[in-house]
Structure formats: C-alpha cells, structure tokens
Amino acid sequence: MEIKAIRGFNDILPDEIGKWQFVERTAREVFEGFGFSEIRIPILERTELFSRGIGEATDIVEKEMYTFSDRSGNSLTLRPEATASIARAYLEHQVYSFDPVAKYYYIGPMFRYERPQKGRYRQFYQIDAEVFGVENPMVDAEIILMLVHFLKKVGLENLELQINTLGCRKCRPRYREELKAFMKNISFQLCEDCQRRLETNPLRIFDCKVETCKSAITEAPQVTNYTCPDCQGHFDRVKEYLAVAGLSYILNPKMVRGLDYYTRTAFEVVSYQLGSQNAVTGGGRYDNLFQEIGGPDIPGIGFAVGIERLVSLLPAGKEFVSSPHLFVAALGEGPAREAYKLVYELHLQGIQAELDYERRSLKSQMRRADKLKARFALILGEDELKRGTAMLRNMETKSQEEVPLNDLTSTLKQKLAI
C-alpha cells in the first residue's frame, strides 16, 4: 500500500515555494530593520510549559495539543505556538540579567490537532515577533507599526487595525466576575462548551463560533468599562503613539484574544481584500506570562502571523517561481560534453543554467527550454563549436545571434542585468 502523509500535514512543492520564500524574506528584512533578531527554538517542549503558559482552560491545551510520552515517560508536546517557547529560552539563558530588553522574531511550524479545513493544517507555519522587558506603551505602538508595515510590504491591501485593552491583574478579576454574573443569567442560551467555559474561563465565550452564543452575548459587559486608571492610561498612550506615527485604528471592545496570558493591549489586523473580511493576524501584551512559567516579573508583547493565510492573500499576477536564466541545447557528442562543462562554469558564476540529459532532438530540447520558461537558450552545434561560438536565442523575442564562448559569462550577465 502506498504511504500517504498524515491528515492535516501538508507538503509545499517547489511551484508554491516562491511565495513562501518571498513572505519569509520580507519578514526578515522588515523585522531586522526594526531591530529584531532571529531566535531558533525546539519543536518539542515539556507539556507543562504550555499548560501553564497558555492556560489549562483554553481550547489549545484542552483539546488541540499533540502530547505524548517519550521513552523515559516524560510528557512532551509539539509546540502549538511559539511565544511560550521563546519566553522559556529567554529565561533559561538568563538573557534578562545582562540585557533586559530583547526583540526576537521566529519563523517555523506549529502543531494543533484541529479539524483540517481548506487552508488550515495541523502542521501550520507562523512568523512570530516578541519584545520582552519593556512596559512602556511606546513599544506596543512600535510592534504594531512593524506588523502593519510588514503586511503592506508583502502586498496586502485594505487593511484595518483593530485594538483593545484587556486590563491587568488588578482590574481583570472584577471584570471577570461581572462577566460571569452576566453569563450565568443567560447560560440557558449557551452551547455545551460555553457552559463549561462559564466556570473555567468566561472570557473564552467571546471566541465561540456558535451563532446562538454570539447573539446571546451581544449585551455582555465590555472590558473597557472595567479597566483601572493604570490600564486606561497605558491604552491612551498606545493610541497617542499610533496617532503620532499616522497609523489609523478602530477600537474593538469585543476583541479578547484566544489565550489566557494576554493583558492590556490587544490588536488584530483585518483584511478586506477581495470583498471578504479576514482576520490576518493578531497579538498583544502578556505581562503575566513569565511568572506563569516560573520566571521573574517581566513584561512582554508580541504577535503571530500565519504564513498559509498570507500566502493565500498575496496579490495575483506577481511572479514568485524562479525560472532558469539559460537552457543549453547541444547537438552531438562533442557539443554535449562542452555543454556540461559550460553549465558547470555558469553555475559557479551564479547563472541559473539547465541542460538536456537525454540527447534529444533540437526541437524537443527547445520545447523543454520553453517549458522551464528559460529566458535564453544557447544552441551548441559541431560547426559553431569549431569556431568557438554558439547561437544565443532570446526565448521571448525569438531573436538570435552568434556569440563567442570565451566571454559567455559576461555576455549573459549583461543581457540578464545581473
């Protein structure tokens, strides 16, 4: 029986990879320009990092993690997100002791046991950015500016930035109680999952996708009415800094973010491209995370963008697949050997050259050059070889000329403008 990939695990073939590389390259350029450094973290972590960091009463920890025991009986989990791991690395290496301010970015796969749907996989890819050690609202605005700039650079249009504040350890409990009281009154209208969330984590009811739940909570109390003066002041300054940079936003008091560790500033970017509304990405501040995973009191803020989503929103018509600069077609034994040597020399010079391995007719070699979308073809025959030349054909204009082989590299570089 033929062995297939696991359900929800996806291959990305070379004809798709150009888009991925473009997105990743743009992220690196933009983030490094904003002073962020790349960090690399393992795919496997101890399960308690996520159960404590993300919170027991979340969908991720309750039902979406890939958790298993290793041969020594340790409970391990394929990371469902990157923030907890990056925070763990920062603590473990005591980065804060020599420089408390850290700006990191990370690109890699995450794993969640969700129902696979179109464009949604169990192994999916995220681009993450995190700032640790800064409480100043300036950094909240700065990371949002970087995110929006990155999305524009990738080519997304019609973006809307939504922001909210979620309160802190001081003011959030009172809001939680008020919310719980409200939810208790309407609990008969809630789905089974939400009935349970009511006890464990009432904030999560806002994330429920069930229509009856959505309409039952339209009148629910809003967190912004319960924030303490400190949180309110912090949020006002975030808005001020966004305004100073000329970035517009809308306030969305219903945005609560999926994970437990978020505090204060929360943000999402929505795209209205192609007439439909898509939440492209989101993030927020998480000033309690470090203590939850056993560290000192260190503030943090960050975001994650799903690469699959970005790739699906890339503007159409842009060329992402690279095609060879040159296809070398050879006729006969001597020219074939010469073609082999020539292509090797061109590769050393960074020129993408392809040749025919099958000794086919000129016609079928040219067909292959067409199929590969080569920009030029070089035709090597016995007669030309004797003169030390070859025919160079522009595959687009179909014009051709005889060129000397001894300075082929510089001729090509000039014509290709590389």
Contact call for residue 171 and Zn ion (CB under 5 A): yes
Q: For 326-356, give one letter per residue: b (16+ CB within 10 A) or e.
A: bbbbbbeeebbebbeebbeebeeeebbbbbb
Cα–Cα distance for residue pair 87/53, rounded to 1 Å: 9
Contact region with Zn ion (CB under 5 A), list: 105-113, 224-232, 241-249, 349-357:
224-232
Please provide residue 308's backbone torsions phi and psi, each rounded to the nearest 5 degrees. Answer: -55, -45
- The SS3 of residue 10 is coil
Contact call for residue 238 and Zn ion (CB under 5 A): no
Binding flags for Zn ion, 138-167, as an x/- string (CB under 5 A): -----------------------------x
State the amino acid at position 373 in one-letter form.
K
Contact region with Zn ion (CB under 5 A), list: 15-23, 169-177, 279-287, 400-408:
169-177
Identify which of residues 10 and 187 has a Cβ nearer to Zn ion in the complex: 187
Identified binder of Zn ion from the candidate list 95, 141, 213, 216, rule CB under 5 A = 213
Contact region with Zn ion (CB under 5 A), list: 77-85, 180-188, 204-212, 244-252:
204-212
Which residues fall within 8 angstroms of residue 387, CB to CB, at 6 or more apart? none
- The residue count of the chain comes to 418
Contact call for residue 220 and Zn ion (CB under 5 A): no
Query: Closest distance between Zn ion and the C-beta of residue 161, in Å?
Result: 22
Contact call for residue 231 and Zn ion (CB under 5 A): yes
Three-class SS of 192-220: HHHHHHHHHCHHHHHHCCCHHHHHHCCCC
Cα–Cα distance for residue pair 213/191, rounded to 1 Å: 7
Contact call for residue 194 and Zn ion (CB under 5 A): yes
Cα–Cα distance for residue pair 49/40, rounded to 1 Å: 17
Q: What is the DSSP string of 161-181?
A: EEEEE---TTTHHHHHHHHHH
Query: Closest distance between Zn ion and the C-beta of residue 213, in Å?
Result: 3
Identify which of residues 144 and 231 has a Cβ nearer to Zn ion in the complex: 231
Contact region with Zn ion (CB under 5 A), list: 36-44, 93-101, 231-239, 317-325:
231-239
Contact call for residue 54 and Zn ion (CB under 5 A): no
Contact call for residue 131 and Zn ion (CB under 5 A): no
Contact call for residue 217 and Zn ion (CB under 5 A): no
Contact call for residue 168 and Zn ion (CB under 5 A): yes
Residues that bind Zn ion (CB under 5 A): 167-168, 170-171, 191, 194, 208, 210, 213, 228, 231
